[in-house]
Amino acid sequence: VPWSLVAWPTRAVIGTNPIAANGVQYRADARLYLAFVHVSAHNCHGKAVCKNTNGSFTCTCPLGYHGDGTSCADVNECSTATHGCPTNAFCENFDGSYRCPCNHGYGRSARGTECKDIDECARPGLTCPGPSTSCTNTAGSFLCGCQRGFEAASSGAPGCANVDECARGSHTCAKRALCADSAGSYSCAC
């Protein structure tokens, strides 16, 4: 704890030996009032950097803060658009800094400097629910659909049901050919 010795003349003489009480010392022989006074080291903010100078000091707010050094406040890089987050990322401010997590459906590139689309369809174990479905990757997401020759089940059940092209007349068989439906397709026979 820093202390400073302060002295000034006094007319009071209290005995011939030094007397100390409550941090104050009286020396009768020198006729000086001596006091050890607690001196604050500096008045810099708790987050500020204090730099000693000849006979004084300076206070500077660190990077991520603004102020005069005796008061420092967080700079919200997200609201001031000084963050530099990559495309497909969002800014999260926190005390003295910020971070840039990737948006949902995006992940960090190998170098970690970009947010790249995640191909959810290529991920092991990810399948669209139900039989005869297909997965289509989209920017930041994916879509589940039906494979060619199938359509959404009319019962509301997950998955896709076969389209009977022969019964619907949507086949391309010749007029006199026989249409035979199969799962997801059809065949023509003469």
Side chain identity at 21, as an amino acid letter? A
* Residue 121 tokens, joined: 């369809």
Side chain identity at 144, as an amino acid letter? C
Alpha helices in the chain (DSSP H): 165-168
Strand partners, 182: 185
pLDDT recorded at residue 42:
75
* Residue 109 tokens, joined: 């590139």
Q: Indicate whether this model's pTM tops 0.95.
A: no
pLDDT recorded at residue 179:
92
- End-to-end, the C-alpha distance of the chain in Å comes to 105
> HEC string of 109-158?
CCCCCCEEECCHHHCCCCCCCCCCEEEEEECCEEEEEECCCEEECCCCCC
Counting as low any pLDDT under 70, the low residues of the chain are 1-41
pLDDT recorded at residue 41:
63
pLDDT recorded at residue 11:
41
